[in-house]
Structure formats: C-alpha cells, structure tokens
Amino acid sequence: MPAFRSRHLCSVAAALVLTVAAPATAATATATAASDASTAAALREVLFVGNNWEGTADVVKSSGDFARIGRINVIPDKDARMAEINADPIKWIYFQAIRNGVGEGHDQFVDDMYTTPDGASVVASRPSFADVVSIDLATGKINWRFPVSGYRSDHMAVSPDGKRVAVSASISNTVHVLDIVTGKQLGSFKTGDKPHENIFTKDGKYIYNMSIGDVNTSLDAPWQDFTKGDRRITVVDATTYQQVKVIDMRQRLDAIGLKDYSDAVRPAVFSPDESKLYFQVSYFNGFFEYDLASDRITRTKTLPKNPATSDDRTTFVNDSRHHGLSMSPDGGKLCVAGTMDDYATVVDRATLQEGPLVSASKPYWATVSGDGKACVISESGADQITAIDFATGQKVVSVPVGDHPQRVRLGHVAANWTGTGS
C-alpha cells in the first residue's frame, strides 16, 4: 500500500525534525501532528480494478462488501491517441497486432495502475497506446503522459515509498522508472524478451523484472520452447538501475528434472522475509517455491486440472494456464488464480495443501484486501471481482465491474471521492 507507507514515512520524518530542531515549540509540534492526522483522515483506502478492454477503472471498497465507490475513464484522450496511431503506419500495425494477439481481438486500454502518495492522481499503463498516464482523480484530466519505448506498455510496480513507478515496455525489452508525481524518467534498464511483472523489494533497493518471452505464437510444444526467446529474471539496483544479477529458471527447472516445463516466470510474490519467491510459469497448473539463498527451486505445487479445460497448449490465453498469485500478510497462505481452469484456491504455505476450488470465470489476477483477510481475484470472463477468505478458503462476495478486469491494486482516494466517469 504505497500511499499508506508514504504517509507513515512522512509522519516519522516530521517527528524526527521536531525532535532535533531546537526552535520548535510544543504548539508547532501539536500543529504538525494535527496536520498529519488531518491528511491521513482525508484519504480512503480503496481497490482499483482495471477494466482492460473497456478503458475504465472501477474503484471499490478495499474490504468488507467491496462495494463500488466510483469509476474513472482511463482513456479521456482516446481521440487524440487514435489520430496519432492512424497517421503512423508502423504504430497502426502494432496497434492492430496488440488487438488481435495479446488482446484476444480487443484493445488493451488499461493494464496496471497505482495512486500517488497524496491520493490525488492515479497512474496507469495503457498497452494499446504504448504509454503511461497520470490522471487527476478530481477532474479526470491527464496530468502527464509518458510514451514508452517501443509500442506496448505492460505491468508496473511502485516503490515502497510510493514515489517511483516502474513500467515494462514489452516490445523494446526495457523497464522505465518514472517519478510518480511528475512523470519524469529517473532511469531505465534492459531485460529479457517481453518484460512483464516488476517487483520492488520491501527496502526499495532492488527491482526484480520477469521477462516472459513470446507468448503469442502457436509454437507451444515443449520441443519448440527455444522459439520463445530470452526469458529470465533481471535484478537491478533501484538507485543506479544497473544489473545486479540474472536468474535463469531454465537451469533451476532442469536441475529438478523438469526439462519440459516453461521457464517463463509469470506472476510472482515474495514471502514476508523475502527469503522465498513463489512464481507461476507458462502452461503450468501450479506454482514453484524458489529459495534465494540456496539459489534453487525447493518445492513444486501442482494444482488440479479442470476436466473441461483442454490440455492443448495453443488454447491457453497468452500461454498462461494459471495467472495470478498473492500471499496473506502473515505469509501463511497463498492465493492462486487458475485462469484457464476457471477456479481460484487458497493454498497453505507450510503444507502446500489447497483449499476449496472456488469457481471463477477466467480469473486473471490475485491481490490482497486492505484488511489482509481476503484474496481478491479479477474474473475477466465474468466482469466481476471476487473476494475469498484466506482463513476458510471460501468465497465471500462477488462485485460487478467493467469489461475484462485484469489488474487489481490497492490505492487511496480523497475520503469524499465518488468518481469521475460513468
């Protein structure tokens, strides 16, 4: 929750200044504390749900009944962007390729989003427009726009202090790191083919990027794996943006006899102490546990297949049989979105025993509710989000949202905010 962390750090910093500054008076300290409390009280924690094919984001309560609070239009400049694309043959070709490939015949208008620390704006990546924009949550207008290198933007990550946002430019094999308030590029780094997921370590020192290779071809048989490109985890210093190391899961999978498994790391999540990384790969109904200290895969979890789901790899959307992974704040439970198998389930991290298989229509992402009690999945096939209780593994509630929800992220808005779109 970047905005919460940022406010917490600001409050701590303010307290330190008051402690060491001799001229400060009790009245000044009281006024500053009151101001901090007022700022915190003026914000409300919410969940942003990006409706990728529609170009909107629904904002819902972060816990409880997850009721919808409001909606924003993520493509208020659509006419201007389309005019640019139609005037440039190369941009037009890529726009159409995105629509007919990764977009499954639809435009990809909103992939990922995070709010600024003050809750005044939301920053969103828009794959079909190959950019990142900041949208004022009070007016619905664009504050700034950053065109990424290449022709498609993808997953993002925000730094623990909420000040920087990293976005994958999947065509140029680049990650851009931007100032979340100004949109100015602070740095960038190169990755493997088709950078996808980004994760900041909790101390903000490193960024992990997972490149997934070419997921839009029908060359999906294990013996054709070499055609998918350079797939790896790239770890960089989050200050200098210099590469620290590369982790090739091909070698780690081969070491445990899984030579026919894809090494394309999809959604991933660290354990609370960041000693373990849990990750999904293309085509696989399950996930892996990777120990960072020993640099090896320590456990494999295979989850049930849906008998109605074909094992024909060419039928999997963007090569992802399962796509969506989150962890309860205490590190005890994992929540898995079984995308092509049409279910989600909570898995005990100690035993790797799955709970009930909660029926869901093409669940595409998994995150954690604001109170940490539930896993929240996006059901892209049913245009809804569903909350699943971490403790019981049972469904809590489903809430309708827009067309093809994908990424779901915690954020903050003004306490009295009710939306800027229909």
Position 110 scores a pLDDT of 98
pLDDT of residue 167: 98
Q: Is 78 exposed, middle or buried (0-12, 13-18, 19+ CB in 10 A)?
A: middle
Q: What is the pLDDT of residue 37?
A: 44
What pLDDT is recorded for position 34? 45
What pTM was computed for the model? 0.89
The most distant pair of C-alpha atoms in the chain lies apart, rounded to whole Å, by 72
Which residues does 378 contact at the CB level (< 8 Å), separation at least 6? 49, 324, 337, 363, 364, 365, 385, 401, 405, 406, 407, 408
What pLDDT score does 241 carry?
Answer: 98
- Please measure the distance between the N-terminal and C-terminal CA atoms of the chain and give it in whole angstroms: 26
| Helix (H/G/I), strand (E/B), else coil: 249 | helix
Give me the tens of pLDDT residue by residue for the chain, a chain 422 residues long: 334 333 333 333 333 222 333 334 444 444 444 444 455 559 999 999 999 999 999 999 999 999 999 999 999 999 999 999 999 999 999 999 999 989 999 999 999 999 999 999 999 999 999 999 999 999 999 999 999 999 999 999 999 999 999 999 999 999 999 999 999 999 999 999 999 999 999 999 999 999 999 998 999 999 999 999 999 999 999 999 999 999 999 999 999 999 999 999 999 999 999 999 999 999 999 999 999 999 999 999 999 999 999 999 999 999 999 999 999 999 999 999 999 999 999 999 999 999 999 999 999 999 999 999 999 999 999 999 999 999 999 999 999 999 999 999 999 999 999 988 65
Superfamily of domain 42-414: YVTN repeat-like/Quinoprotein amine dehydrogenase (2.130.10.10)
Neighbours of 131 (CB within 10 A): 19
Segments of the chain assigned to CATH 2.130.10.10: 42-414
- Using an 8 Å Cβ cutoff, are 258 and 249 in contact? no
- Between CA 382 and CA 406 the distance in angstroms is 11
Tell which residue, 49, 130, 126, has the closest CA to residue 84.
Answer: 130
Tell me the two tokens of residue 189: 């780094």
